[in-house]
Amino acid sequence: MKAGTMDIATSMKAVVSPPRDDDSTLEHYFPQHRESIRVLLIDDDGGDAAMIKTLMANSKQLDFSLVTCRSVEEGRNAIEQSEFDVALIDYWLGYETSIGFIHAFSQSQPVPCVLLTGLDTPEIRRIAFRAGVAAFLAKDGLSIQAIEGVTMAVLRRDIGLSRAV
């Protein structure tokens, strides 16, 4: 696995790790009175996008501010107009994968990308990690707990990396 990347198992472990006495606990990064987490969702399946929107609206742990796009082109326009904390991007967008877009996006934006997929294979993971994906979310059985866990893990990792620079 590429350094600085994580999969769902790793991210969930990061979420359930016992609190530490230093400032790296989740409460430090996600205080009770927090700003919205700005999420860019790119998914061409309206049903999947609606389900993710509903799950995020029902989050009791995080306050999500969601911008939904149905294509790479809409995603590019959204990126030019707004800033995001995390991007959730479907693997298949129309007749092509989102890997090229993710690679370009991760090179130009300091925003962690989470790949949404129903096809979770080792080959897809290898390709996606090389392109700059920070984590994966499987669409099968997607839950708010999985979305929250991955979001907190990639943001926590991103904050840690920016502190180190």
Within a domain: residue 124? yes
Question: What is the Cα–Cα distance from 89 to 98, expressed in whole angstroms?
Answer: 7
Q: Given this model, what pLDDT does residue 20 score?
A: 40
Question: What is the Cα–Cα distance from 54 to 144, expressed in whole angstroms?
Answer: 9
Within a domain: residue 2? no
Domain count, the chain: 1
**E strand spans, the chain:** 37-42, 64-69, 86-90, 92-93, 96-97, 113-117, 133-138
Q: Given this model, what pLDDT does residue 35 score?
A: 65
The domain containing residue 89 runs over which residues?
8-12+36-164
Within a domain: residue 23? no
Question: What CATH number is attached to the domain comprising 45?
Answer: 3.40.50.2300
Whole-structure pTM value: 0.76
Question: What is the Cα–Cα distance from 59 to 78, expressed in whole angstroms?
Answer: 23
Q: Is 4 left (phi over 0), alpha (psi -120 to 50) or beta?
A: left
Q: Given this model, what pLDDT does residue 33 score?
A: 45
Segments of the chain with pLDDT less than 70:
1-35, 158-165
Q: Given this model, what pLDDT does residue 67 score?
A: 98
